[in-house]
C-alpha cells in the first residue's frame, strides 16, 4: 500500500491513465463505500484492502478527490484501531490534497480527523487549529452532526488549557443543537457524550468561582441541575 510519501511521488511523476473507464472509476468509489462499511464492523483487513485498492487506482488516474476520499478512509481505519500517529499522517495528506478541490465535505472530514488525531496525541495547539477549521467548514455545509462532534472535541481541548468558559460554550452549543433538532442521527449517543463532558468539566478544581456559576446556570437552563457533579455516574 502507498505511504503518503510514495503517493506524492506517484501523483508527481506518473502520467494519468489514458482512458480511465467510468465503470472502473465507479467500482473504485464503491470500494471506498465498502471500506467504510467494513471499518464500522471492525473488519480491519477487508477495509484496508478496499481503501488501498481505491487509493492505488485514483493515484494512477490523478483523481484527487478519489485520492482524498481513500486517504480519509484509511485515516478513519487507523484511528479506530488506536494508531493515532498513522491516522494523523493520512488525514494530513488528505487535507493537503482536498483543500483546493470541490470536495468541501471530504476536506472538512480530513480536517476533523487531523484534529482528533492531534487531540489523542496531546498535540493541543495543532488539534485546536484543525478542529476550528473543520468546524467552520461544517457550519458552511450545515452538517450538524459533525459540527457537534467538532464542538465536543474543542471543548475537551479548551478544558485542557483551562479555558473553561470556552469549553462550556462548546458544550452549550451542542445541547442547543440537540434540543432544537430532536431527530438528529445518533442524538442519544451525542447527548450522553456531552453530558459526560459537562460532568467532567464540573469536577475541574481550577475552574474558579465565575466558571462554577456559569456552569450551574447552564445546568439549570437545560434542566440538568440534578446531574451536577453526578452526571457520569448517573449515565453508567
- One DSSP character per residue, 54-91 reads HHHHHHHTT-HHHHHHHHHHHHHHHHHTT-HHHHHHHH
Q: What is the pLDDT of residue 236?
A: 38
In 118-232, at which residue ranges do the beta strands (DSSP E only) sit?
A: none
Structure confidence by residue, pLDDT tens digits, 7-44: 555 454 444 444 456 778 888 999 999 999 999 999 99
Rounded to two decimals, the pTM is 0.83
* 3-class SS of residue 163: coil
The confidence band for 213, taking pLDDT boundaries of 50, 70 and 90, is low
Closest CA to 98 of 72, 73, 131: 72
Residue with more model confidence, 217 or 128: 128
CA 75 – CA 88 distance, rounded (Å): 7
Q: What is the pLDDT of residue 13?
A: 45
- The answer, yes or no, to whether residue 210 has pLDDT greater than 70, is no
Structure confidence by residue, pLDDT tens digits, 60-90: 999 999 999 999 999 999 999 999 999 999 9
Distances from the Cα of 95 to the Cα of 68, 83, 91, 124, 175, angstroms: 7, 18, 6, 18, 29
107 CB contacts (<8 Å, ≥6 apart)? Answer: 68, 95, 98, 99, 101, 137
Cell of 49: 484492502
For range 203-223, the mean pLDDT: 64
Q: Which of 41-50, 63-72, 223-232 has the lowest mean pLDDT?
A: 223-232
Closest CA to 71 of 153, 3, 18, 138: 3
Using the 8-state DSSP alphabet, how is residue 52 labeled? H
Mean pLDDT of the chain: 84
- Give the burial class of 17: count Cβ atoms within 10 A of its Cβ; 0-12 exposed, 13-18 middle, 19 or more buried: middle
Amino acid at each position: 500500500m502507498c505511504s503518503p510519501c510514495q503517493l506524492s511521488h506517484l501523483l508527481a511523476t506518473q502520467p494519468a491513465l489514458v482512458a480511465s473507464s467510468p465503470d472502473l472509476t465507479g467500482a473504485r468509489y464503491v470500494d471506498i463505500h465498502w471500506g467504510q462499511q467494513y471499518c464500522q464492523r471492525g473488519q480491519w483487513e477487508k477495509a484496508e484492502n478496499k481503501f488501498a485498492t481505491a487509493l492505488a487506482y485514483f493515484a494512477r488516474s490523478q483523481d484527487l478527490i478519489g485520492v482524498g476520499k481513500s486517504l480519509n478512509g484509511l485515516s478513519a481505519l487507523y484511528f479506530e484501531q488506536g494508531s493515532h500517529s498513522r491516522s494523523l499522517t493520512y488525514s494530513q495528506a488528505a487535507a493537503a490534497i482536498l483543500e483546493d478541490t470541490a470536495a468541501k465535505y471530504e476536506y472538512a472530514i480530513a480536517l476533523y480527523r487531523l484534529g482528533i488525531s492531534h487531540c489523542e496525541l496531546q498535540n493541543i495547539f495543532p488539534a485546536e487549529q484543525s478542529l476550528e477549521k473543520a468546524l467552520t467548514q461544517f457550519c458552511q455545509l450545515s452538517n450538524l452532526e459533525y459540527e457537534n462532534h467538532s464542538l465536543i472535541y474543542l471543548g475537551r481541548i479548551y478544558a485542557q488549557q483551562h479555558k473553561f468558559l470556552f469549553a462550556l460554550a462548546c458544550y452549550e452549543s451542542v445541547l442547543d443543537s440537540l434540543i432544537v433538532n430532536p431527530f438528529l442521527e445518533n442524538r442519544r449517543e451525542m447527548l450522553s457524550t456531552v453530558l459526560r463532558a459537562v460532568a467532567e468539566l464540573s469536577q475541574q478544581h481550577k475552574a474558579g468561582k465565575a466558571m462554577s456559576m456559569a456552569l450551574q446556570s447552564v445546568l439549570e437552563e437545560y434542566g440538568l441541575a440534578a446531574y451536577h457533579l453526578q452526571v457520569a455516574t448517573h449515565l453508567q
